Structure 1
Amino acid sequence: MLETAPLSNLQTRDIESVLHPYTPLHKLKQTGTLVIERGKGVYVYDTRGKEYIEGMSGLWCAGLGFGDEELADAAAEQLRSLPYYHLFGGKGTESSIELAEKLKELAPVPISKVFYTSSGSEANDTQVKLAWYMNNALGRPKKKKIISRIKAYHGVTIMSASLTGLPYNHKGWDLPVDRVLHTDCPHFYRYGQEGESEAEFVQRMVQSLRDLIEREGPDTIAAMIAEPVMGAGGVIVPPQGYYPAIQAVLDEHDIMMISDEVINGFGRTGNWWGSQTMGMTPKTISVAKQLTAAYVPLGAVMVPEDIYQAYVDHSAEIGTFGHGFTYGGHPLGCAIGVKAIEIYQRRDIVGQVRALAPVFEARMRRLNDHPMVGETRYSGLVGGVELVADKKTRRPFDASKAVGAQLSKFAEGHGAILRALGDTIAFCPPMIITEDELNELFNRFEKALADTEVFVDQGKLRQPG
């Protein structure tokens, strides 16, 4: 197994100055930090010059990899002409208008307007505010609750973290807030009952949702928000037929579907939108991350004409539409978004994902034979490998042993950056990755998996629970 290198001066200074998100802060002095200095293509390099395949596109977002000259040139051009302006008070910029038009053309459902934010968290936070504003405009002041799901991830603002259905987003933060409900997680491997088929599991999920709506009262529920493929909750791909079935229940009770495409959008699942891949029919859509290929922070909410008209009517009643962000629609972000979409189209990134998806699937399926792999899950070029202590019973490892985190450390040693979501290892490589690079990513992962098996056996972590 690999030894931990001594901390460099730069790593030490980082520990003293940076508050790291999603990090066990109590362990940081022992583990140090991995300081990334530069990147090119699917590779990034640390301050020692070590090369890594960035198997997570950073945080699910650098879909065009690193060091793309076209994106850098677009940024420089925009910065020279108009480095900043806002959209408040009816102001506009050419790049914000052009990007909105492109998003409307690409949208999987009819879209009339685009509201800009700086992140996916802000986009989902805005989704809730807009749903409340709309229902006030329509004279439905009680219709305000939002349904999310256990293991969902929708962000870290107070409201978007409340929508998120993960314990560490709630523990210690006094969350979730009122008006947020969580229904069952559609993960058949973990939550299917003995002898239950996937179709029966879907019907149970649907009935659970129906029961929740009837218990709370459909006149109190504004929307349900869902990631087509769930990301940070473990890369969970719902069973076939799940979304059409729950959509019918929502339609029956006049509850709109919000699609959180922050990870799924712009080709990741083999279609422009994850909602197309999974058979969703959303009313509104959240986007961010690959919207700019991660080169500049930008998010957006896409809404149809009938909802926009409700905003107009309420603005007339109140006097203004009182919501917005200083950097919402930043001209730099929008210019990069325009260029990123142009590149996605010109380079046929969707076709690239579809061509590589069988290779990705084959390497995932091969892992299913490993004694520590309980399940692999994937769609397009996003996937997860779930580690288990007992393959037959699906018993997980003791969470305190952090087996997944240990594997990700071993992977770094072998030159691959992946993300441990508990004991599920997530894959989300840049969509420009070649077949050879994709195979090399899996080769490096398999070496880390072998190291982890030794670590588990030495620690006797697979003893009966």
Structure 2
Amino acid sequence: MTSPRANSNAARDIASVLHPYTDLLAHAETGPLVITRGEGVRVWDENGKAYIEAMAGLWCASLGFNNERLVEAAAAQMRKLPFYHAFAAKSHEPLITLAEMLLARAPVAMSKVFFANSGSEANDTAIKMIWYFNNALGRPQKKKIIGRVKGYHGITLASASLTGLPANHRSFDVPLPGFLHTITPHFYHGAQPGESERDFAARCAAELEALILAEGPETIAGMFAEPVMGAGGVIVPPEGYFPAIQAVLRKYDILLVADEVICGFGRTGNYWGSQTLGVTPDILTCAKALSASFLPISAVMVNARVFAALAEESHKIGTFGHGFTYSGHPVPAAVAIETLKIYDEIGIIDHVRAVVPAFQRALHGFADHPLVGETRGLGLLGGIELVADKGARQNYDPALKIGPRAAKLLEKHGVIGRAVPGDTLAFTPPLIISESEIAEMFAAVRGALDELLAELTREGLAPRL
């Protein structure tokens, strides 16, 4: 990377910007990668170097980095009605149309849609709805929320408490009281010797039930789950996992929230990850690909039972005292409407299914690489986990930052990826990616991993095979 001192944009950035998910002191020395434009699955930095954006930005740029229909949808709505709100029974056409479109596409019957601006806000809203729901039913003690270790649900105070990642907790004084975490359904690291996937899934369900019984079922209100865990390591659940845990939740009248922020809108090969993995949620949250990430918007869908309780309690109080200034903002809503239309018109699900074999075949082709412990994925979601000892399934010391180091080498080879916990390289390219672009992307990944292996061997850190 060019020295930040020799690059005016980098120097300006260092002087003025506080970056999310960044070592803030180290950033002052290394500087940013400044991206200036995008087209299709590629972006370019300010020096003119092109990269395949293997993360679709942040799991989100489903239609790539240029789409004139979405630009025009935003411009047309800004000319017609640049802002209005949904408070106090106000509405507007994009709000209504988008809600109708989402309900028509829901994986299970849903009743109403609430709009927010990010996945974090959507999940925070769902938490508050669950508390409101149980107060409405006269169950003031039924308030605890269960997430999963390595689950990711956002970074507001409540959603960060639900998230199960140490970096999102340390020094922020979260989790808040009332948030619990159950076992990660990661077969590679979590299964016992001789345990099948179904046996492991049953044990995950048994541990969930043990947690509920220890806390008191009368105190547990809901559980949040990503169909495929994203930021925690691209973890695909074992066979039979969701039917097993849903049986436990139904037994104790605990609501299930499907966090579809990453998995929704075709990523797993179906419109929703819930459809791919047999999830029947009471509440569903989505964001990111809802607008192809051209503008911020998220949604919370609730079923009839949840809405009925919310409605009764709001009538008793006189208002549903929750909402954001930009809930259902007409411009992002118009872009989201156009996004959903584009998905239908170009047959995005059919396209994803057509290229998934090439993606998964290339992904799993890394299984024999000396640095790779596990390759895992579903649809256009993939993870490559780097290990110090393949036989023992042992990761490198986190202090060595092998994953972030690999991600930097990816950039050198023309691919922007992301290192997530457990030294896993995550890959979630734009849904429009072609087979030839998949091949080009993973060829660059192999070059980066080969270079990393050579460096580690020179440093006496070669993996044990």
Q: 2:3 pairs with 3, 6, 14, which one?
A: 6
Q: Distance in 1 between matches of 2:460 and 2:366?
A: 22
Kindly state the Cα deviation for residue 426 of structure 1 after the two structures are TM-superposed: 0.2
Q: Distance in 2 between matches of 1:131 and 1:405?
A: 37
Q: Distance in 2 between matches of 1:158 and 1:5?
A: 37
* Preserved contact between residue 156 and residue 169 of structure 1 (Cα < 8 Å): yes
Q: Distance in 1 between matches of 2:281 and 2:244?
A: 13
- Any idea what SS the aligned residue of 2:385 has? strand
TM-score (norm 2): 0.98
Q: State the partner residue of 1:438.
A: 438
Q: Distance in 2 between matches of 1:306 and 1:151?
A: 30
- 1:152-301 equivalence runs, <5 A: 152-301=151-300
* Preserved contact between residue 94 and residue 337 of structure 2 (Cα < 8 Å): yes
Q: Distance in 2 between matches of 1:437 and 1:462?
A: 30
* Preserved contact between residue 390 and residue 462 of structure 1 (Cα < 8 Å): no
* Preserved contact between residue 384 and residue 425 of structure 1 (Cα < 8 Å): yes
Q: State the partner residue of 2:113.
A: 114
Kindly state the Cα deviation for residue 198 of structure 1 after the two structures are TM-superposed: 1.6
Kindly state the Cα deviation for residue 463 of structure 1 after the two structures are TM-superposed: 6.8
Q: State the partner residue of 1:312.
A: 311
Q: Distance in 1 between matches of 2:306 and 2:381?
A: 32
- 1:404-419 equivalence runs, <5 A: 404-419=403-418
Kindly state the Cα deviation for residue 196 of structure 1 after the two structures are TM-superposed: 1.9
Q: Distance in 2 between matches of 1:159 and 1:192?
A: 30
**RMSD (Å), alpha carbons:** 1.1
Q: State the partner residue of 1:350.
A: 349
Q: State the partner residue of 1:428.
A: 428
Post-superposition CA distance 1:137-182 (Å, at most 9, x none) = 1111111111100000000000000000000010000010011110
- Any idea what SS the aligned residue of 2:365 has? helix
Q: State the partner residue of 1:451.
A: 451
- Any idea what SS the aligned residue of 2:384 has? strand
Post-superposition CA distance 1:185-205 (Å, at most 9, x none) = 000101112222222211111
Kindly state the Cα deviation for residue 459 of structure 1 after the two structures are TM-superposed: 2.0
- Any idea what SS the aligned residue of 1:63 has? coil
* Preserved contact between residue 397 and residue 462 of structure 1 (Cα < 8 Å): no
- Any idea what SS the aligned residue of 2:341 has? helix
Q: State the partner residue of 2:389.
A: 390
AA at the equivalent of 2:80:
S
Q: Distance in 2 between matches of 1:460 and 1:135?
A: 57
- Any idea what SS the aligned residue of 1:309 has? helix
AA at the equivalent of 1:372:
L
Q: Distance in 2 between matches of 1:142 and 1:458?
A: 59
Q: State the partner residue of 2:64.
A: 65
Relative to 1, partners in 2 of residues 1:463 and 1:433: Cα closer, same or farther, differing over 3 Å? Answer: closer
Kindly state the Cα deviation for residue 93 of structure 1 after the two structures are TM-superposed: 1.0
Q: Distance in 1 between matches of 2:459 and 2:17?
A: 33
Q: Distance in 2 between matches of 1:43 and 1:198?
A: 37
Please list every run of 5 or more consecutive structure 2 residues that lacks an aligned counterpart in the other structure: none
* Preserved contact between residue 403 and residue 419 of structure 2 (Cα < 8 Å): yes
- Any idea what SS the aligned residue of 1:28 has? helix
Q: Percent identical across equivalent pairs?
A: 54
Post-superposition CA distance 1:396-439 (Å, at most 9, x none) = 01111111111111111111000011310000000011111111
Kindly state the Cα deviation for residue 462 of structure 1 after the two structures are TM-superposed: 3.6
Q: State the partner residue of 2:32.
A: 33
Post-superposition CA distance 1:315-335 (Å, at most 9, x none) = 121111100000110001110
Post-superposition CA distance 1:95-146 (Å, at most 9, x none) = 0100000000000111111001010000000011000001101111111111
Q: State the partner residue of 1:79.
A: 78
Report which stretch shifted further, 33-42 or 302-311. 302-311
Q: Distance in 1 between matches of 2:25 and 2:392?
A: 33
AA at the equivalent of 2:432:
I
* Preserved contact between residue 55 and residue 416 of structure 1 (Cα < 8 Å): yes
TM-score (norm 1): 0.98
* Preserved contact between residue 390 and residue 463 of structure 2 (Cα < 8 Å): no
- Any idea what SS the aligned residue of 1:338 has? helix
- Any idea what SS the aligned residue of 1:367 has? coil
* Preserved contact between residue 397 and residue 461 of structure 1 (Cα < 8 Å): no
Q: State the partner residue of 2:54.
A: 55
AA at the equivalent of 1:458:
R
Q: State the partner residue of 2:129.
A: 130
Q: Distance in 1 between matches of 2:455 and 2:157?
A: 38
Report which stretch shifted further, 24-33 or 328-337. 24-33
AA at the equivalent of 1:331:
P
Number of paired residues? Answer: 462
